[in-house]
A and B are shown apart, each in its own frame.
Chain A
Amino acid sequence: MQIAVISGKGGTGKSSISAALASLSKSIVLVDCDVDASNLYLLFNPTHEEEYSFVGGEKAVIDYSLCTHCGLCMEYCRFDAIVNEQGKIKIEEVFCDGCYLCSRICPERAIAMCEENESRYYAGSFRNGKMVYGRLAPGEENTGLLVNKVREKAKAMAKHYHIATILLDGPPGIGCPVMSTITGVDKLLLVTEPSLSGIHDMERMLEVAKHFNIETQVIINKYDLHPELSEQIAQKANAWNATVIALIPYEPLFIKAMIQQQSIIEYAPDIASAHILKQVYDRLLLK
């Protein structure tokens, strides 16, 4: 079974909750799908048994010994990535989408594509099972594809070690890396918080979940900061066919646990939030 933890809005507590659920398990494959801001490895300090390089994309590079500065590539480029600087044709690397078109149409064959291969993903063990996580190199692209790679590796590990559950900690937002995270999962766990932003972002995420037709459960984190807004969240979630299964009070110990490189279950197993998360675990992951 694969469960993804998502939120829409950032900073609602996805990683802390994923870490808690992972700690409750005896054997799990934990996957950090937030590849451009991965954090779970900081808590669990996994071993790096396997390391893979990831080619996120390619960038166009001009060979100036061949370029005649005719400007044809500039006409074709739809990403504003090729500019004419006082007669000299130049690639603006940040804007290059790696589509290859300039390289294909150049009459002098002066444009080559150069791979970006600094990104990595790792597979190893941590105290509750196996862990896979990706790290996108600064400025590199194609987060969705890296999430796919990380998930393929996680599936292979689950099969090899006979582990039944894969828990995916997702990125914020609703775009490409989020869609790669939730494609084909069995359940979604949406973590939100009682603020107008939290509600707005949850609704956009639920709309995406509906497109994918995935069963979604909602956790309201820090619910007691605004009980009225928490009530609104429950109603809106219901309207999207999602159920609120847990209310977690505002709990400063989550950050203390993080500083000690522990999950809340490891750091303070007897507090109310830990008990609530235990119930969430029993309900979602034990079945």
Chain B
Amino acid sequence: MKIAVAGGKGGTGKTLVATNIFYVLMEEGQQVELIDCDAEEPNDTLFFKGEIMHHNDVLLKVPEIDTSLCVFCGKCKEYCNYNAILMIGFSNYIKVIEELCHGCGACTAACSYGAIREIDRLIGEVNQYRISQHALLTEARMRVGVYSPVNTVKAALKLNPEPYMQIIDAPPGTSCPFIHSVVHADYVILVTEPTPFGLSDLKQTVETLKGMNKRYGVIINRVDVPNNEMTDYLKKENIPLLAEIPFDRRIAEVYAKGGLCAQQIPAYKHQFKNIVHFINQEICK
């Protein structure tokens, strides 16, 4: 089973939920893998210590043009849909802008003169740690300066072939990095906060998930007073409310120092266990 934790808006508590659910499952002795798919800003390794099991470089095939074979016909530039090939024909100048290249291979297919060969560009890394006998933490970490985390996310998601239960910590937003993180999930937990910003981004995420035929439920984090607008929306859309995590300064303090509230505050251990239990029931429905 794969459970993704997402939410649209940044900083609503995705990592808080993902790390604590992972912790309670690990405590129960389940075979479980936490995958940090926020490759731009991965944080899950701040919360767990473990021995490194795998370190894989994530590489992208980008073109290298041999100007002694190139006839400057411009076909590769025409085939490239990402403006990653710069050519000034009359002065026999051609250059690949690696940062813009998506590694699609169109230029290679276009060239009839054998002037293009492909070289590996390092765009990220995937590290896997053993946290306990049955628990793994896999981290997608995009290299700083790279445009897209998508390939690094995909590499992290397919590292472990074993049938572990997976908890996927998804990145904020609703665009490609988010979509690739949740696409194989059986269930998506949406973590939001009871503010107008939280609600607006939640709606956008729900609309995206509807198009993907996903099952999902919502956790409202940092609840201090009841927020009718949020609960009315959930009722109207028939979205299950998985839990409300209260506004509690202790949670923020434990989290800030890289701790787990399910480990340090007993009440939250029960709450996270209940969330997992609830999702299990939802999925079996």
Give A contacts to B, CB under 8 Å: 7-12, 15, 34, 36-37, 39, 42, 58, 76, 78-79, 94-95, 97-101, 104-105, 136, 138-141, 143-144, 171-179, 194-198, 200-201, 204, 207-208, 211, 225-226, 229, 255, 258-259, 261
* Other-chain contact of A208, B8, B145, B193, B255 (Cβ < 8 Å): B145
27 pairs across A/B with beta carbons < 8 Å?
Answer: A10-B9, A11-B11, A37-B10, A42-B196, A94-B179, A94-B212, A95-B180, A100-B81, A100-B106, A138-B174, A138-B207, A138-B211, A140-B175, A171-B173, A172-B173, A173-B40, A173-B149, A173-B173, A195-B255, A197-B255, A200-B41, A201-B41, A204-B40, A226-B257, A255-B195, A258-B196, A261-B196
Q: How far is the CA of A179 from the CA of B109 in the complex (A)?
A: 30
B-chain residues with CB within 8 Å of residue A229 when the two chains form the complex: 256-257
Measured in the bound complex, the distance between the Cα atoms of B12 and A9 in whole Å is 11
A173 and B106 contacting across the interface, CB-CB below 8 Å: no
A105 in contact with B109 (CB, 8 Å): yes
* A175 vs B123: C-alpha distance when bound (angstroms): 12
Contact pick for A141, options B8, B9, B142, B176, CB 8 Å: B176
Chain A contacts for B211, CB-based, 8 A: 138-139
B253: CB under 8 A from chain A?
Answer: yes
A94-B183, A99-B102 given; A12·B172 CB < 8 A: no
Given contact pairs A173-B172, A197-B46, A258 touches B10 in the complex (Cβ within 8 A):
no
Instruction: Note all chain A residues with C-beta closer than 8 A to B159.
Output: none
State which of B38, B41, B106, B180 has its C-beta within 8 Å of the C-beta of A101.
Answer: B106
One digit per residue, 1 when the CB lies within 8 angstroms of any chain A CB and 0 when it does not, for chain B 69-101 equals 000000000010110000000000000000000
Find chain A residues with CB under 8 A from B79 CB: 100-101, 104
Report A281 CB to chain B, min CB distance, Å. Answer: 22
Q: Is the CB of A225 within 8 A of B253?
A: yes
Interface centre among A7, A101, A178 (most CB of B within 10 A): A101
Q: Given contacts A78-B104, A197-B15, is CB(A143)–CB(B256) below 8 Å?
A: no
Given A37-B204, A136-B175, A175-B142, answer yes or no on A196-B40 (Cβ-Cβ < 8 Å): no
Chain A residues with CB under 8 Å of B103's CB are: 78
A136 vs B8: C-alpha distance in the bound complex, in angstroms? 12
B200 CB within 8 Å of chain A = yes
Given contacts A36-B178, A95-B180, 4 further A-B contacts (CB under 8 A): A34-B173, A37-B173, A207-B144, A258-B196
Known contacts A42-B197, A100-B79, A175-B147; A37/B174 CB under 8 A:
yes
